[in-house]
C-alpha cells in the first residue's frame, strides 16, 4: 500500500476504544519520557511519539523538513498480520496548514510504505500494532524506518507495553 503525502486520503470508520494506553519499555536511542513523549531524528526528519494524545493509544509523527521525498515504514517487529490495518495515517502540511484535497485518515498496514512529501508530515495513529485489540501487559516492539528513496533508511526500535486504562476512560 503506497500512500502519497499531501494528497487526498479516504475517510475510514472510527478508531477502537482507546481506554488502554501504551508506554515505552526501556527505549534506547530516544529522548524524553517513556510514559509521555519521546523524540528522535531519522534521516533528517524529526519523529515524535506521543503516549498521551486523546485521539489514539499512540501517536507517532514524522515531519519532513527536507527537500526530498521520504519513505516511512512502521510496524511491529513480529506478530502482526501484514494484511491487517494496525492504525490510521493522516497527511498534513508542516506548520498546521490544511492540505488541499485531503479528506481525513487512511488505514495503514504493518510495515507498508508511506511516502511523505517535502514540507509535509505523516501522523500515525497506532491503536493495534499486533493487528488486534491489545490486552494489559502485552508487549510489542515497533520498528520504524525513515529514508529517502534509494538510500539506506535510518531505523529505530521502540519497545512498548500496554499499560492500565487512563482515569478518564474508567468513568
| pLDDT tens-digit readout, 36-82 | 999 999 999 999 999 999 888 899 999 999 999 999 999 987 765 66
Q: Is residue 91's pLDDT more than 70?
A: yes
- The DSSP bridge partners found for residue 24 are 160
Domains along the sequence of the chain with CATH: 3-10+18-164 (2.60.40)
Q: Which residues contact 87 (CB under 8 A, 6 or more apart)?
A: 15, 56, 107, 108, 124, 125, 126, 127, 128, 129
Q: Which residues contact 168 (CB under 8 A, 6 or more apart)?
A: none
Q: Report the C-alpha gap between 63 and 41 in whole angstroms.
A: 10
- Mean of the pLDDT values across residues 132-156? 93
Q: Is residue 159's pLDDT more than 90?
A: yes
According to the model, what pLDDT value does residue 47 have? 98
- Mean of the pLDDT values across residues 132-146? 91
> In terms of pTM, does the model score above 0.85?
no
Q: Are 73 and 154 in contact (CB under 8 A)?
A: no
According to the model, what pLDDT value does residue 165 have? 64
Sign of CA pseudo-dihedral 9, 10, 11, 15:
negative
pLDDT digits (tens, 9 = 90+) for 1-24: 344 444 333 334 444 555 788 999
Amino acid at each position: 500500500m503506497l500512500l502519497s503525502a499531501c494528497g487526498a486520503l479516504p475517510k475510514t470508520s472510527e478508531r477502537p476504544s482507546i481506554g488502554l494506553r501504551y508506554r515505552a519499555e526501556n527505549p534506547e536511542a530516544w529522548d524524553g519520557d517513556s510514559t509521555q513523549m519521546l523524540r528522535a531524528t531519522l534521516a533528517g526528519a524529526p519523529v515524535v511519539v506521543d503516549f498521551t494524545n486523546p485521539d489514539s493509544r499512540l501517536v507517532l509523527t514524522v515531519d519532513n523538513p527536507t527537500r526530498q521525498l521520504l519513505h516511512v515504514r512502521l510496524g511491529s517487529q513480529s506478530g502482526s498480520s501484514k494484511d491487517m490495518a494496525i492504525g490510521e495515517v493522516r497527511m498534513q502540511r508542516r506548520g498546521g496548514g490544511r492540505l488541499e484535497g485531503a479528506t481525513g485518515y487512511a488505514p495503514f498496514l504493518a510495515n507498508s510504505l508511506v511516502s511523505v512529501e517535502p514540507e509535509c508530515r505523516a501522523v500515525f495513529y497506532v491503536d493495534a500494532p499486533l493487528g488486534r485489540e491489545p490486552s494489559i501487559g502485552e508487549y510489542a516492539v515497533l520498528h520504524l524506518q525513515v529514508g529517502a528513496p534509494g538510500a539506506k533508511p535510518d531505523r529505530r526500535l521502540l519497545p512498548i507495553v500496554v499499560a492500565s486504562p487512563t482515569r478518564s476512560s474508567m468513568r
